[in-house]
Chains A and B, each alone.
Chain A
Amino acid sequence: MNNEFLMNLIYIISSCLFAFGLKFLGSPVTARRGNILSASGMFLAIIATLAGSHVISFQWILIGILIGASLGALVAFKAAMTQMPEMIALLHGCGALASVFIGWIAYCVHGATDLTNTITLYLSIVIGGLTFTGSAIAWGKLSEHIPGKPILFTGQKWLNTGIISAILVLGVMFIMQPARYDLFLIILGLSCLFGIFMVIPIGGADMPVVISVLNSYSGVVACTTGFVIHNTLLIVVGSLVGANGMILSIIMCKAMNRSITNVLFGAFGSVVKKSATGEKKEAKAISVEDAFLILENAKSVVIIPGYGLAVAQAQHAVRELGEFLEKNGCDVKYAIHPVAGRMPGHMNVLLAEANISYDQLMEMDAINPLMENADAAIVIGANDVVNPASRHDKSSPIYGMPIINADKAKTVFVLKRSMATGFAGIENELFYYDNCRMIFGDAKQTVQALVAEFKSGQSR
Chain B
Amino acid sequence: MELIYLLFILVLSVFLGFALISRVPPLLHTPLMSEANAICGIIIIGALVSAGVDANSTLTIILGTSAVALATFNVVGGYLVTERMLKMFKKKG
Contact = CB atoms under 8 A, between A and B. Distances in A.
Given A109-B53, A222-B40, A31 B89 contact: yes
Interface stretch (A156-164, A226-234, A368-376): A226-234
A309 interface: no
A88 B68 CA distance: 19
B88 A349 contact: yes
Contacts of A336: 26
The dominant DSSP class at the A interface is helix
A84 B52 contact: no
Which of A98, A251, A343 counts the most chain B CB atoms within 10 A?
A98
Interface string B63-93: 1111111111111111111111111111110
Interface stretch (A54-62, A281-289, A420-428): A54-62
Contact of A35 (B41, B65, B79): B79
Nearest to B92: A357
Given A102-B46, A234-B46, A91 B23 contact: no
A121 to B, nearest CB: 13
Interface in A85-116: 87-88, 90-92, 94-95, 97-99, 101-102, 104-106, 108-109, 116
Given A23-B23, A38-B79, A76-B81, A239 B53 contact: no
A404 to B, nearest CB: 13
Given A35-B82, A61-B52, A240-B17, A102 B67 contact: yes
A344 B26 contact: yes
A391 B57 CA distance: 63
Contact of B89 (A58, A104, A358): A358
B79 to A, nearest CB: 5
Given A88-B34, A102-B67, A247-B22, A229 B90 contact: no
Interface string A121-132: 000000000000
B3 A116 contact: yes
Interface stretch (A45-53, A165-173, A262-270, A394-402): A45-53
Interface in A329-366: 336, 338, 343-346, 348-349, 352-353, 355, 357-359, 361, 363
A195 interface: no
Measured as residues with beta carbon below 8 angstroms from the partner, the interface class of chain B is 35 or more
B77 A343 contact: no
Given A91-B74, A240-B13, A99 B54 contact: no
A218 interface: yes
Nearest to B30: A345
A20 to B, nearest CB: 9
Given A58-B52, A77-B80, A349-B30, A105 B39 contact: no
B4 to A, nearest CB: 10
Measured as residues with beta carbon below 8 angstroms from the partner, the interface class of chain A is 35 or more
Nearest to A76: B80
A68 B68 contact: yes
A26 interface: yes
B70 to A, nearest CB: 4
A276 interface: no
Interface string B18-35: 101111111111111111
Contacts of B34: 84, 87-88, 91
B60 A102 contact: no
A21 interface: yes
B23 A26 contact: yes
Which of A57, A109, A244 counts the most chain B CB atoms within 10 A?
A244
A227 B26 contact: no
B48 A95 contact: no
B39 A237 contact: yes
A407 to B, nearest CB: 23
B43 A225 contact: yes
21 contacts: A22-B24, A25-B31, A31-B28, A35-B79, A53-B48, A60-B68, A61-B68, A64-B68, A76-B77, A84-B34, A87-B34, A88-B30, A91-B78, A101-B50, A106-B50, A109-B50, A212-B33, A236-B13, A244-B17, A248-B32, A345-B27
In the A-B complex, list the 9 residue pairs whose CB atoms are closest, starting with the nearest: A68-B72, A243-B17, A345-B29, A64-B68, A72-B76, A55-B52, A239-B13, A72-B77, A76-B80
